[in-house]
A and B are shown apart, each in its own frame.
Chain A
Amino acid sequence: MNRLLLYRLASWALTLLAITVIAFLVLEILPGDPALVLLGPDAQPDTLEALRQQLGLNQAAVVRYFEWMSGLLRGDMGTSYTYSIPVSELIGSRLKITIPLAVLSTAIAVGLALVLGMYAAARHNRVGDYGVMAVTQIGVAIPSFWLGMLLILLFSLTLRWFSAGGFPGWEAGLWPGLRALVLPAAALAIAQAAVLTRVVRASVIEVLNQDFVRTARAKGLTRAQALRRHALRNALIPVVTVIGLQFGHLLAGTIVIENVFSLPGLGRLIFQSINQRDLMVIKNVVVLLAVIVITVNLIVDLLYLVIDPRLRHAS
């Protein structure tokens, strides 16, 4: 196996371990007594003690950590304090909204960025280029949740094309489900698209100036053919990197945007769990989100191997 690949897998596993430790430390050690957090400051001592017993809080932190870990390995995330159902079940049902939302949003962002970025690169230093760059400046300055509110104002309240929030459930069918995700995904996508557009533009401009593009033109390819067959694939590498790096922001963004649109996804779950002090849910969701982020970054690194033959053969 490729050494680079092995190294990446090892560092992924190590980061994963560190994430669980940090989440455990921050959520279960720092604040002191989860039972107190859960019941509030006015709780009776004997009620507190009973809850501590029930949650296994009287055991040493190390023991509790390993119990949590061995549970995770078995796919057991414990039981939610507030919902009284297994956390894994809870998360599973919420992921059905958050993952499609994140994927749809990424798709919108990448699509927009490729079109705008390539257009700007083709019109480098001309009016069209400046126009696109100005739009991206505004794009990165707009808070996604405010954009979401504007979209609701325009498309739900005024034009009545989409509902202002909520989710009908996938049982209602694919289209009603997607319809409920379009506005939140768009709101989430704009900032990502703005950042990506700049990356695509810079990357395409750089690649278009390289000798092999001129070679392609000398072979008789038209400008568009040379861009498509030769420049795009090469320009894609920094774009893929940024998509990977941005994915963390996107996922964190779902916490905000799901609240704007009242979507019962992972982000709304974690937000509600904070208000209900459901530590069991919070620590598992935090770990899950962080794991998704580092896994996406791992996938990006593996994608390089697919895209760039130079890396594939370097071992």
Chain B
Amino acid sequence: MTAASTSTASPARKIGWLRSPSLVAGGIISATITSAALLSFLWTPYPPLAMNMAQRFQPPSLQHVFGTDQFGRDVLSLLMTGAQSSLAVGVVAVAIGLVIGSALGLIASARGGWIDEIIMRMCDFLFAFPAVLCAVMLAAALGAGMGNAMVAIGVYNIPIFARIVRGAAAGVWVREFVLAARTSGKSSTHIAIEHVLPNILDIIVVQATISFATAILAEAALSYLGLGTQPPTPSWGRMLHESQVFLSRAPYLSIFPGLTIVTMVLGINLLGDGLRDLLDPRYARER
């Protein structure tokens, strides 16, 4: 094809961050739920764990915006407090995956050869253990709990970060400024932290948002199974588990926690998409 038609491919558009609707929408949703979680440390409409048998199964009303559960607890207050567990598990799990995975990816890209091969085979191997399976094993070995959920989801994220960092870093190690740093005698560790890492930070940040969203989904699933956050600490997944018995009697008990999870995950994913467009215009056109 001639240049007359190739020139029709639209040039990568620069997206000002206010002009990215997904970034704005995702940011607002994520910020709102995070603020609600933080606020719940200081204040909730009702004490989240206070039972009130006179107020059981109240449908949504002005007093109880999302209604009350089988113990008369205020669902909104439970949801706000439950956000703490979700966010905590998400943050720690992503941190585990990010730190260990990025380190492995950096080492693999820096050393190459058999070290690279071993690390990548290990990652392939970890892929055979989805987060839920990991959690099941840990729960069987160490007992169920929030900490084990964090570790399980974290371990699941390690190979994801390792692969992405390795792929992105490989391109940086051959750039001029890295070669220059090498010839000036700096150690690989030094170069990795000082030069390579800052150049792939955008990719890591985007992956961290995506992983955060999947971590929240995984935490909810584990808590639903009783393998995550333990009672009496409120959590979204367990609220859904407890509500299932009352599905026909009080459907709103199942609907609001579910909607909260969907909204949160949607918000973080939108934020991730927006960030990717913002940080890396190369990806802005497709997907």
Contacts and interface: CB of A to CB of B under 8 A. Distances in A.
Interface of A: 11, 14-15, 18-19, 23, 26-27, 30-31, 137-138, 140-146, 149-150, 152-153, 157, 164, 198, 202, 205, 245, 248-249, 251-253, 255-256, 259-260, 270-271, 273-274, 277, 279, 282, 286, 289-290, 293-294, 297
Interface string B244-287: 10011001001101100111011001100000000000000011
Nearest to B249: A157
28 contacts: A11-B124, A14-B121, A15-B125, A23-B137, A30-B141, A30-B142, A137-B266, A140-B269, A143-B220, A144-B221, A145-B224, A146-B254, A146-B258, A146-B262, A149-B243, A149-B244, A150-B254, A164-B247, A202-B287, A248-B128, A255-B133, A255-B136, A256-B224, A271-B225, A279-B140, A282-B136, A286-B133, A290-B128
Contacts of B146: none
Nearest to B130: A252
Contacts of A11: 121, 124
A290 B129 contact: yes
A253 B125 contact: no
Given A137-B270, A149-B240, A143 B140 contact: no
Given A27-B140, A31-B142, 13 more contacts: A11-B121, A15-B124, A15-B128, A26-B138, A137-B270, A138-B262, A143-B221, A143-B262, A146-B240, A146-B261, A245-B127, A256-B132, A290-B128
Nearest to B214: A140
Interface residues of B, number: 45
A145 B287 contact: no
Interface string B81-98: 000000000000000000
Contacts of B139: 274
B78 interface: no
Contacts of B192: none
A18 B123 CA distance: 12
B165 interface: no
Nearest to B286: A202
B227 A274 contact: yes
Contacts of A279: 140
B266 A293 contact: no
B127 A286 contact: no
Contacts of A138: 262, 266
Contact of A293 (B128, B144, B247, B248): B128
Given A137-B269, A145-B240, A149-B254, A290 B133 contact: yes
Given A27-B141, A251-B130, A274-B139, A143 B261 contact: yes
A141 B269 contact: yes
B133 A252 contact: yes
B213 interface: yes
B131 interface: yes
List the 8 closest A-B pairs by CB distance, nearest first: A252-B130, A146-B258, A252-B132, A141-B265, A141-B266, A290-B128, A157-B248, A31-B141
A256 B213 CA distance: 18
B217 interface: yes
Interface string B106-144: 000000000000000100110111111100111111101
B247 A286 contact: no
Contacts of A253: 132
A245 B262 CA distance: 23
B121 A286 contact: no
A86 B131 CA distance: 28
Nearest to B142: A31
A256 B221 contact: yes
A150 B258 contact: yes
B221 A274 contact: no
A140 B210 CA distance: 11
A61 to B, nearest CB: 14
Contacts of B247: 149, 152-153, 157, 164
B224 A26 contact: no
A145 B131 CA distance: 15
Nearest to A289: B133
B134 to A, nearest CB: 9
B262 A141 contact: yes
Given A137-B270, A153-B247, A256-B225, A282 B140 contact: yes
Contacts of B287: 198, 202
Contact of A286 (B124, B136, B227, B286): B136
A238 B140 CA distance: 36
A304 B287 CA distance: 24
Contacts of B269: 137, 140-141
Contacts of A149: 240, 243-244, 247, 254, 258
Contacts of B130: 248-249, 251-252, 293
A294 B263 CA distance: 33
Nearest to B224: A145
Contacts of B262: 138, 141-143, 146
A137 B265 CA distance: 9
A297 B144 CA distance: 30
Nearest to A30: B141
B110 to A, nearest CB: 24
A256 B141 CA distance: 19
